[in-house]
């Protein structure tokens, strides 16, 4: 006796095909967003360039400022490129960077300023400021583990700074964070010398 056949309606097959295509399309979109390119450093060190709209939107939201306050496109493109990079003592690349290495690279690539590599030496090339005088690109120092000037970050604006955290990598945090502020010890702008180039943004 012939076995009965169960033919699926063509409309059902068509619907399955459409759902499959939609699923594939959604996966492509998600993967594309996960692998989106970081911001690009435009201009030359020391030059103030217009930030990318997406970068201005992102960092204005993080720091609670207007998008129009994100003016130094090169600075925030640099920050965007390094955000999330893991901490590695002595590191100077995307595989890992330490706090003084991040400050060293940022001052060099954003402002065209050469500063020492080590935190203990970086603190000797700043002009001390009061906290309420801080500007973008200034250095902020902390005394961790009972060691004076053992950690450094780079001030951004509205009370936020970027640094390479030993536990979280490169992040932006509030200077008045309850945990870290008690270790805050000194701040200031990099002193221009014959061996450095200053920018209008400093």
184 by DSSP, 3-state: which? strand
- What's the order of all strands across the beta sheet hosting 139-142? 126-128, 184-190, 139-142, 151-155, 160-165, 169-174
Residue matched to tokens 């033919």: 7
CB-based contacts of 42, cutoff 8 Å, min separation 6? 49, 73, 74, 77
Phi, psi of 56 (to 5 degrees): -60, -40
Phi, psi of 161 (to 5 degrees): -140, 160
CB-based contacts of 89, cutoff 8 Å, min separation 6? 98
Q: Which residues are catalytic?
A: 99, 151, 163
Tokens of 89: 């003592």
User: 78-111 b/e with 16+ CB inside 10 Å = b?
Assistant: bbbbbbebbbbeebeeeebbbbbbbbbbbbebbb
């Amino acid at each position: 006796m012939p076995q009965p056949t169960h033919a699926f309606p063509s409309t059902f097959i068509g619907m399955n095909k459409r759902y499959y295509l939609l699923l594939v399309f959604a996966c492509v979109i998600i993967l594309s967003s996960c692998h989106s390119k970081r911001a690009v450093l435009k201009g030359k060190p020391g030059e103030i360039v217009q930030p990318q709209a997406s970068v201005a939107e992102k960092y204005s939201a993080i720091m609670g400022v207007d998008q129009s306050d994100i003016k130094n496109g090169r600075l925030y493109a640099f920050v965007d490129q390094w955000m999330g990079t893991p901490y590695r003592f002595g590191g100077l690349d995307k595989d890992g960077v330490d706090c003084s290495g991040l400050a060293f690279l940022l001052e060099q690539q954003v402002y065209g300023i050469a500063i020492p590599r080590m935190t203990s030496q970086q603190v000797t090339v700043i002009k001390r400021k009061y906290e309420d005088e801080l500007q973008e690109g200034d250095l902020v120092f902390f005394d961790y583990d009972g060691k004076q000037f053992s950690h450094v970050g780079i001030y951004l604006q509205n009370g936020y700074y970027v640094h390479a955290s030993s536990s979280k990598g490169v992040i932006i945090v509030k200077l008045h964070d309850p945990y870290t502020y008690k270790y805050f010890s000194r701040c200031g702008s990099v002193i221009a010398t014959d061996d450095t180039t200053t920018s209008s943004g400093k």
